[in-house]
Amino acid sequence: MADRRENARGPGRPVSNGRVNTIGVQRRDLDTMLEELDDTRCGVGADSKRKHVRWPFRKISVEIDLTQPGSSAPVRLSLACRNLSTEGVGLMHNAYVHVGTRVVVHLPRGTGSVACAGVVRRCVHFRGLIHEVGIQFDKPVSPKEFLELDPWSECFTREKVESESLLGCLVVVDGSDVEHKLIKHYLRETQLRVRRADTAQQGFELAAEGCELILCALSLPEMPARDWIDELRRRGVNTPVIVTGVDTTATGREAATGIGAAAFITKPVLQPVLLRAIAEFIVPVAVSGGPGGSALPADHPNRAVADAFEVLLPDYATRLRDAVKRKDIKVCREVSAQVATAAPALGFERLGTLAERVASGLGAGVSLAEIGVTIEALASACETVRRAA
């Protein structure tokens, strides 16, 4: 059956049967062209305003369903692919596509594909008939599901992170005094509460008390990280664990395989990498308001109410965690909605931002499993604000 494409006025120019993409290039020519494009546009990290990293995703053919404005019937096209990020994908096409055009991108994964709906946000001429088409997804994706990445390659999706935007509790399990001091120094400008565990047992105890994230050395004094994570899970603690290690040789990579870690960081740890890694699991909040307690001045009419609200924050944290244990979505939504409504007016902007994310997410049908990290961040924030007051 002939390959169906529309004419020059439609979404794609005619292509002959057997061409793998609309620009008619094979693997070697595609690589050469994309390397040239990376050189001219500086590739990953070029945009200082960009929030998420764009990873090379050089696929010779990615199918999309494109619906032209005013048309109800989508057209199936096969486009060459340049890159992928949490928010979207870059594709190469043989015609201009209007900004605002709706598409469904079928991202290849394993032997199948995942349909990701989105919209064209840009279409830039490259050369000849070739254009680069930037598509923004309606819902974010996890690039790690589609990319074959080295676990030690430190492939975190956020490009830049403001230190002040990180709020919550981090447990660091490491027998090195130097490592603890370094991590504490790197995170001095964040809103994170960093708790130190020098031994595996201390790590178990602090993790059980509650935190958003755990940083664990690959080799602990008493046991390897693999055994420590296994025991942590047996104790019912499902907090994400980032493993840090020095040995990234083939032997080290083999030792790190299948140990249940959420991510890996190479030692010596670098501050930008650490911040990006933490932001992968602790959702950054808007940088506004005071460092702790209410930002309202002492003579503000709502200050007395704000002080009373602070007293209630530990109770909100307890109710949230209890509701999560019972898998009670209704209570989680009610508590987060109460905090989201009151916090901004009482001078707790960061707290209100977190609460709004939880309330809106649960209201939109997001599961507790999907938003669990943010709920724990909200509970920890309630406790942290009260302690800082």
Instruction: Give the three-class secondary structure for 322.
Output: helix
The verdict on residue 14 lying in a domain is no
The verdict on residue 8 lying in a domain is no
**For residue 363, what pLDDT is reported?**
84
Pair (103, 48) in one structural domain: yes
Q: What is the total count of domains within the chain?
A: 3
Instruction: Give the three-class secondary structure for 353.
Output: helix
Domain that holds residue 205: 163-281
Q: Give every CB contact of residue 19 below 8 A, 6+ residues apart in sequence.
A: 3
The Cα–Cα gap between 234 and 229 comes to: 9
Q: Give every CB contact of residue 352 below 8 A, 6+ residues apart in sequence.
A: 339, 340, 342, 343, 344
The verdict on residue 80 lying in a domain is yes
**For residue 256, what pLDDT is reported?**
62
The verdict on residue 12 lying in a domain is no
Residue 100 backbone zone (phi > 0: left; psi -120 to 50: alpha; other: beta) = left
Pair (198, 89) in one structural domain: no
Pair (169, 87) in one structural domain: no
The verdict on residue 7 lying in a domain is no
Q: Is the full-model pTM beyond 0.75? A: no
The verdict on residue 98 lying in a domain is yes
Name the strands in the sheet holding 167-173, side by side, starting at the edge strand that comes first in the sequence: 191-197, 167-173, 213-217, 241-245, 263-266
Listed as ranges, residues in the chain with pLDDT below 70 are 1-18, 40-52, 149-154, 247-257, 283-292, 370, 373, 385-389
CATH number of the domain to which 211 belongs: 3.40.50.2300
pLDDT tens per residue across span 78-109:
999 999 988 899 999 999 999 999 999 999 98
pLDDT tens per residue across span 46-63:
444 556 678 888 999 999
Pair (63, 90) in one structural domain: yes
Pair (170, 277) in one structural domain: yes
